[in-house]
Chains A and B, each alone.
Chain A
Amino acid sequence: MKLDKFWISVVVVLVAGFAFTKLVDNEFYFFATYVVLQGLVMAVAWNILGGFTGYVNFGSAGFFALGAYTMVALNKAFGLPLPVMVLIAGTLSGLLGLGVGYISLRLKGVYFAIATLAIALVLETVVNNSHYLGGAAGTYVIQPKESFIFDNYIELLFMFMLLIAVVATAVSRYLSASRLGMGLAAVRDDEVAAECMGVPTLKLKLISTTTMGIFMGLAGSLFPFFVTFVDPVSAFSLLIAVNSIAMPMIGGTAVWYGPVIGALVLGVVQETATVTISSELNLLIVGVMLVGFITMAPRGIVGLYEDYKAKRKGQNNG
C-alpha cells in the first residue's frame, strides 16, 4: 500500500499520544483530551449518517448510553477484560444502529430525526427503571487496579479513546472516498434517483447507521471507567447529543475531516471555558456556536475556508 499523508499522520498522532502519556504527569490534561476525543468520535460517527446520507440523528446520547450501560452490566455480571467488553458494547449499539437503519425505510426527514430522539428517551426510561443498572440514582464503577503499560488508568483510557478516534476517522475517510461514499452522497441528494441509478439505498443506509452505532457505542463504552459513577442524567446527557450535531455542523458536514475540525475546535473551546469560566457557560457556547454557524455559515469552517480560497483565487486571476 502506498503510504500517503493520512496514514503518516495516523502514525504520528498515535506515537505522539503515547509519548504524551510518558512525558506528562498532570492527570488533568488526560481528562481534558479524553473528553475532546470522545466528542470527536461522536461527531465523526454522527457525520457518517447525518453528513453523508442526510439522515439526522437526534438520539446520539442513546447510542452512547447503550455503550456505557452495556459496560456497566458486563462489568457487574462477568467482569471481562476491558477490550472484550468494549467490543461487545460496540456490537450492541451497532445492532441498535442497524435497527434504526430499518426505520429509515419508513421514516424520512423530520420523522426519522424524531424517532431517534424517541429511541433515546425510551432507553433512558428503561435505565431509570432498571434496578440492576442503578436506576435513576446511578451506579459506581470501580477502575481496575492494573493499567497495562501506563502509569495510571486515565492514561490507558486516553490512549484507548485516541485509538478509537483514529479508527473512526479512518473508517469515515474510507467511506467518503470510496465508491460507497459516492453512493451515500447520492442517497443524501435524492434517494429515489439514487435507487433508480442502481444504488442499493437500503444496504448503504444500513451500513451507514450501523457504523454510526458502533462508534457511538465505542465512545460510550469507556465512559463508566472514565467517570467511575454513571447515572442516566450524565449518560443520556443532552450535551452529548448536541455536541455530536454541533461539531460536524461547525466543522462542515460534507467532507470526512469536517467533523474532526469541528470537534477539535469546539472541544478545545469547551474545555478551556470549563476551566476558565464555568461548565454551564460552556454549554451556552455550544448552543450559540451551533445556531451561529447554521444560520451564517451553513457549510461550516471547511466551507468558510473554501470560500476564502475561491475568493483569493478570484482576486489573483482578476
Chain B
Amino acid sequence: MFTPELLLNAVVAGLMLGSFYAAVALGLSITFGQLDIVNIAHPTFVILGSFVAYIINENFGLDPVLIGVLFMPIFYFIGTTLYRVYYASFERTGQESLSGLAFFFGLMFIIEVVLILTFGVDYRLVEADYIGQTLHLGPLDFPYRMLVPAIAACIVTGAVVLYMNKTFMGKAILAVSQDRLALQLMGANPLQVKRIALGIAIATAALAGALLIIIQPVEPSVGRMYIGRIFAIVVLGGMGSISGTFLAAILIGVVESIISTFYGPSWAPAVGFGILLLTLAIRPQGIFGRA
C-alpha cells in the first residue's frame, strides 16, 4: 500500500543503504575504474571481511566496526600480495583480459568454497548493543543497524577522496591509468602505485564486510548478489570517480529500497543488474572505449 510516509521512509532507508553500497563499491572503483583490474572477486573479499568480523565479535565481543578498521592493514597486505601475483601472471605478459578475468573468477570461487567448508552455509551475525534499536525522528525511522554502517561508510569514502586528492600517492593512483606522462613526471613507479592502490581497495573490503554483517546476517555466497550491484555502481558513477561512485551508490540504494518496499524484497537483486544492463546498452561505446 502506498502512503507518503512509507515512501519517505523507503527513501531514507535507501539513502542509508546506498551509503553502505558506496563502501562496498569503493574498492572496485579503485581497482576496476582506476587500475583496469577487473576484480570480480571484490565482493567475496567483502564477505571475507564479514566473517572476520563475525569470528572476532563472537569470541572477543569487539564492536564490528572497530574490527573492520583493525583488520584493514591485514587486508591491505592481502591486496598488495594479490597485485604481485596478478602482475607476474598476467599484466607482465599482456594476458590480463581473458585470463585475468578467469583468474578472479576462480579466486572468488576458492574464497567462497573455503568459507563454506569452514563455516557451512548457515547465516552468521554479529552482536552489538545498537543493533535492533531504532532512532525515531518524527515520522522517520533510522534503525541503528543501518545508520551506523551508513555513517561509517560516509567516513571511509570521505577519507579515500581526501587521500586521492591531497596526498602524493593518491594523485599518483589517479594518474596511473589515465595519464602515464604525469606519472612519469611525478617520478612514481607505476608498479608500486598499483600495488598500493590494490592494497587500499582490498583494505576497504575489510570494513565494508564488517558493515555488511551489521546490516544483515551473512552466508558465504551472499557476495554474488553484490557483483552486479557494485559493477552497476562503478559504471554508472563514471569509472573510477570516487564521488561519482558514491552518488551512483545512493541512487541504486534508493531505487532498490523503493522497489523492495512496494514490490517485495525478492525483486531487489535484479535492480542493480537491470540498471547495469540498461546503462551498458544505452551509453555509447565511445565512453567505454578502452575496454
Contact = CB atoms under 8 A, between A and B. Distances in A.
| Whether chain A touches chain B in the assembled complex (some CB pair under 8 Å) | yes
Question: Which of B85, B95, B103: most chain A Cβ within 10 A?
Answer: B103
Contacts of A119: 273, 277
B106 A108 contact: no
Contacts, number: 127
Contacts of A81: none
Contact of B105 (A109, A115, A122, A245): A245
Nearest to A280: B117
Contact of A290 (B109, B231, B235): B109
A295 B91 CA distance: 11
Contacts of A110: 32, 38, 97, 101, 291
Nearest to A108: B291
A16 interface: no
A110 B227 CA distance: 13
Contacts of B280: 103, 106-107, 111, 114-115
A245 B102 contact: yes
B276 A284 contact: no
Contacts of B274: 118, 122
Contacts of A245: 102, 105
A109 B266 contact: no
Contacts of B101: 56, 58, 110, 113
Contacts of A298: 95, 99
B98 interface: yes
A171 interface: no
A182 interface: no
B270 A288 contact: no
B228 interface: yes
A56 B266 contact: no
A58 B117 CA distance: 24
A295 B239 CA distance: 27
A288 B38 CA distance: 19
B266 A136 contact: yes
B107 interface: yes
B288 interface: yes
A287 B95 contact: no
A136 B116 CA distance: 21
| Residues of B in contact with A, size category | 35 or more
B98 A56 contact: yes
A290 B273 contact: no
> Binding site of B, secondary structure by majority: helix, strand, loop or mixed?
helix
Nearest to B110: A287
A202 interface: no
Interface string B222-238: 00110110010001000
A126 B117 CA distance: 29
A273 interface: no
A246 interface: yes
Nearest to A136: B266
A294 interface: yes
A246 B281 CA distance: 28
Contacts of A296: 89
Contacts of A290: 102, 105-106, 109
A54 B95 CA distance: 12
Contact of B117 (A125, A242, A284, A294): A284
Interface string A95-123: 00000000100111111011101110110
Given A115-B277, A128-B266, A129-B266, A283 B99 contact: no
Contacts of A122: 270, 273-274, 277
A227 B95 CA distance: 39
A281 B110 contact: no
A292 to B, nearest CB: 9
B78 interface: no
A125 B266 contact: yes
A286 interface: yes
Nearest to B97: A109
B267 interface: yes
Nearest to B89: A295
B73 interface: no
Given A118-B273, A122-B270, A294 B102 contact: yes
A296 B85 CA distance: 11
Given A118-B276, A119-B277, A107 B110 contact: no
A291 interface: yes
B260 interface: no
B99 A294 contact: yes
Contacts of A121: 224-225, 227-228, 269-270, 273
Nearest to B283: A106
Interface in B137-177: none
B177 to A, nearest CB: 14
B113 interface: yes
A249 interface: yes
A116 B267 CA distance: 19
A125 B288 contact: no
A168 B228 CA distance: 31
- 5 tightest A-B contacts by CB? A287-B110, A290-B106, A125-B270, A118-B273, A291-B106
14 contacts: A56-B102, A103-B281, A107-B280, A109-B291, A114-B227, A115-B276, A129-B266, A238-B112, A238-B221, A245-B102, A283-B109, A288-B110, A291-B107, A298-B99
